[in-house]
A and B are shown apart, each in its own frame.
Chain A
Amino acid sequence: MGHKTALFALHQTMGGKLVDFGGWDMPLHYGSQLEEHHKVRRAAGMFDVSHMTVVDVTGAEAKAYLQKLLANDVARLDNQPGKALYSAMLNEKGGVIDDLIVYNMEGWFRVVVNCSTREKDLAWMSRIAADFAVELQERDDLAMIAVQGPEAISLAKKVAGAEHAAVIDQLATFQGKPSGNWFIARTGYTGEDGLEIMLPNAEAPGVWQALADAGVAPCGLGARDTLRLEAGMNLYGHEMDEDTSPLVANMGWTIAWEPADRIFIGREVIAAEKAAGVQQKLVGLVLRERGVLRADQAVVIEGTEQRGIITSGTFSPTLGYSIALARVPITIGSHCQVEMRGKLVGVEVVKPVFVRQGQSLV
């Protein structure tokens, strides 16, 4: 049996099909992944993301520590209380140990990393912390509920009550704020507006139930994956890993090259890679006919022997056909072919984002 979140019993009573995910028993869906997906695009859905790892970074050198640890620069959060920053955490070879979100908590920072990478992340963060006056505290006392969709915020405000609602009203996109013993952030992984609420484990079941009663659909990991893929968001272990540079994973924008004297881990290697010229990039693929693009299928490009690879592929419930993210040679044009079940199938090459705020971008 795996780890269980504070919402495990509710997932069972609400009909969740529970599967192992990175050592946790998590709901894959509650009946239909497609219906859950549509609920998030058209109204509101919620996800138990308590399995994600929350680490609080405190101490006199917390900022200097994160400036060394992360490819993005937490100085970008200066004077912006609650503001969130997306970053890669690189190894010395410039590969991605994990992607994460860090919040400016005014004098300290809160970092949210992936569940599947928890052990190695904590080991790496502790190792680097040895040279700094910082303390790391894992917050496994907190549950996390993501409420996402065009109606997510209004429904969450109704359920959370006046005091939390007042805090929610002040939140800009990609910003969080403490609210009593909750921390509420206007972030997510679906391409829709919404919130991620961190709250004490003991309060989570009551809030989940109240959200469900208000009409927010419980959604599983299946819909979470199709939503993030439509939104063109990376998934660790697919678009990037320890052997993949952030420069070929559409994460160049998250690397803070300035100031030039900020020596973050992995900087030298990826700076050299950039100077030499990056050879691959992440693109979107669209297949408008029958069939579903899948991870690990080969991408064949006319005029070169070099192959690309699909990093994530699925049927897009919003678009009604298949989409994929693929890492390909930079010479790729507007069309290419994918080797699907022994056959070469023509696909269209697009920017790696397909749907945002319910609207098709392809």
Chain B
Amino acid sequence: MSEIRKELKYLSSHEWARVEEDGTVTIGITDHAQEALGDVVYVEVPEVGSTVTAGEEAGVVESVKAASDIYSLVSGEVIEVNEQLQDAPETVNSSPYDDGWFFRVRPDDLAELDNALDADDYRSVVEDEE
């Protein structure tokens, strides 16, 4: 069974979101997602300063096996991206919830996260797939 963190919010397409102390939202892909993808070789994240929309495509992750779109959990401006993933995409495999984060958003409306799954709901999604 893959790791699912209690404090995060999730999408059924296997992205997670964490609300930081300053109110910004960090987004990445779950442990289950990285395991299903296998070795990650490229990550495409949105540009800093661009706008992302909740439930819409914000980037791409490519593994040896497959390409997969990354969806944002909130709408807002991208204020930071994880540059480390350009040179070390394997970080997504080794540390999906910490060093392997994708991008950080200043959300227009944090309440959008209420539509996302909590850890228990996401666990059922993963169990259905495993």
A interface residue numbers (CB < 8 A to B): 28-29, 32-34, 222, 226, 290-292, 294, 314-315, 317, 341
Contacts and interface: CB of A to CB of B under 8 A. Distances in A.
Contact of A33 (B38, B42, B60, B62): B38
Nearest to A223: B64
Nearest to A29: B38
B67 interface: yes
A33 B40 CA distance: 10
B39 to A, nearest CB: 5
26 contacts: A29-B38, A32-B39, A33-B38, A33-B39, A34-B39, A34-B41, A34-B64, A34-B90, A222-B38, A222-B65, A226-B64, A290-B42, A290-B44, A292-B41, A292-B42, A292-B62, A292-B67, A294-B66, A294-B67, A315-B41, A315-B42, A315-B62, A315-B64, A317-B64, A341-B60, A341-B67
Interface string B37-72: 011011010000000000000001010111100000
Contact of A314 (B44, B64, B90, B93): B64
A33 B67 contact: no
Contacts of B65: 222
A290 B90 CA distance: 15
Contacts of A33: 38-39, 64
B40 to A, nearest CB: 10
A48 B93 CA distance: 25
B111 to A, nearest CB: 32
Contacts of B67: 292, 294, 341
Nearest to A289: B42
Contacts of B62: 291-292, 315
Interface residues on B, range: 10 to 19
Given A32-B39, A32-B93, A33-B38, 11 more contacts: A33-B39, A34-B39, A222-B64, A291-B62, A292-B41, A292-B62, A292-B67, A294-B66, A314-B64, A315-B62, A341-B67
Nearest to B42: A290
Contacts of B66: 294
Given A33-B64, A341-B67, A291 B42 contact: yes
A39 to B, nearest CB: 14
Interface string B94-105: 000000000000
B63 to A, nearest CB: 8
The 4 closest A-B pairs by CB, nearest first: A315-B41, A34-B39, A292-B62, A315-B64
A322 to B, nearest CB: 8
Nearest to B44: A290
Nearest to B86: A290
Contacts of B90: 34
Nearest to B64: A315
Nearest to B69: A341
Residue of A222, A292, A317 with most chain B CB atoms under a 10 A cut-off: A292
Interface in B21-38: 38
A267 to B, nearest CB: 39
A29 to B, nearest CB: 7
Nearest to A35: B39
A292 to B, nearest CB: 5
A341 B64 CA distance: 16
A81 B90 CA distance: 47
B57 to A, nearest CB: 10
A181 to B, nearest CB: 37
A325 to B, nearest CB: 16
Nearest to B43: A290
Contacts of A294: 66-67
A113 to B, nearest CB: 26
Contacts of A314: 64
B15 to A, nearest CB: 18
Q: Most A CB atoms within 10 A — which of B62, B66, B90? A: B62
A238 to B, nearest CB: 15
A246 B67 CA distance: 30
